[in-house]
Amino acid sequence: MTVAVQKEPEFDWDAPIFRVFPLWFFEQALQMRSLTFVRPSRWDDPFEDVSSNVAMTDERTGQHRHFTEFLTPAYAQCWSFESNSDTLIRAYSQVSVDPVVGRNRTPYAEGVRVASSPRKIIKALKDQSSKHPRANFYVGKVRYCSSDEISQFVTNGLGAIGAARMALPDHRADTLFLKDSYYRHESELRVLVISRDRSAGPEFFNIEFDPNLMIDAVEFDPRLRLFERNEREAKARTLGYVGPFTGVEKSLRNIFNVVLPNGWGPDEAKPENKDPEPPKPKDDDSKPASSA
């Protein structure tokens, strides 16, 4: 089975994309050379997999059934085109530095930002697709809609083609590429694995991959102290990662020098009626506003 790439919305196959892995998850991926996909039911937002929330009623007989009876196991991995979002790193990585020893007190909740590209992910999937003949692979950019539009999409599909056909992998993928507009700032690329068998599948789905062919760069949480960041990098090296590490500048304190032509004045400044206000920075309309 080849990899189906969604044509709408369009995206650049060579654009950088990013994903925040849990630290232990990242190290396991390097050690096992395995990418892990999880069931959408594990995501925080229960509406992300709207198909699993659908109850159906046969108008002719009054019989009730749940749409999940028709669905096959689905797994996903989420990446982002957003290259500089502090919101995303803080959403998926928690760091609390102990003031005495300078170490992160919650390494189990710490995240690692990995950079790649859609082309490299698609290549990794294609290389492994023949080993998973009962699974379909999909890659696409998420479409952001209102929750009502997403519900209506599923409702229309069920009414037009019925539950059995609507549950087939291609239509199942269509619903999993929809997400509430509230999350538009994530600019998400989603990678899906959908089984063609209705039998219960494993909790996780794994495929082999070469980290050094797929990963372009690795960035540890900028809130880590430098010595602990160095330990993280050394561990990644021992697990076989040979690519670059980025983001060290984010963890450094910036000191800027101000030249005072008249010195810094007397040691004790006398109060004046009103101190002159420094000029305020002007808004730069040429720069896009940062996402909240």
Number of domains making up the chain: 1
Q: Is residue 276 part of a domain?
A: no
Given a cut of 50, whether residue 291 has pLDDT beyond it is no
When pLDDT is averaged across residues 12-27 and rounded to a whole number, the result is 95
pLDDT tens profile 90-108: 777 889 999 999 999 999 8
Q: Is residue 93 part of a domain?
A: yes
Given a cut of 60, whether residue 289 has pLDDT beyond it is no
Model-level pTM?
0.82
Q: Is residue 292 part of a domain?
A: no
Q: Is residue 259 part of a domain?
A: no
Return the pLDDT at 252: 58
Q: Is residue 267 part of a domain?
A: no
Q: Sign of the CA dihedral 157, 162, 167, 170?
A: negative
Q: Is residue 172 part of a domain?
A: yes
Q: Is residue 82 part of a domain?
A: yes
Beta strand pairing status for 55-57 and 143-145? unpaired
Return the pLDDT at 83: 79
Q: Is residue 130 part of a domain?
A: yes
When pLDDT is averaged across residues 17-28 and rounded to a whole number, the result is 94
Q: Which domain holds residue 117?
A: 3-251
> 51 is written with which tokens?
């198909």
| Percentage above 70 pLDDT, the chain | 87
pLDDT tens profile 28-50: 999 999 999 999 888 877 678 88
Which element (helix H / strand E) includes 159? helix 147-161
- Could you tell me if residue 137 is left (phi over 0), alpha (psi between -120 and 50 degrees) or otherwise beta? beta
Of these ranges, 92-101, 111-120, 263-272, the one predicted with the greatest mean pLDDT is 111-120
Q: Are 139 and 221 in contact (CB under 8 A)?
A: no
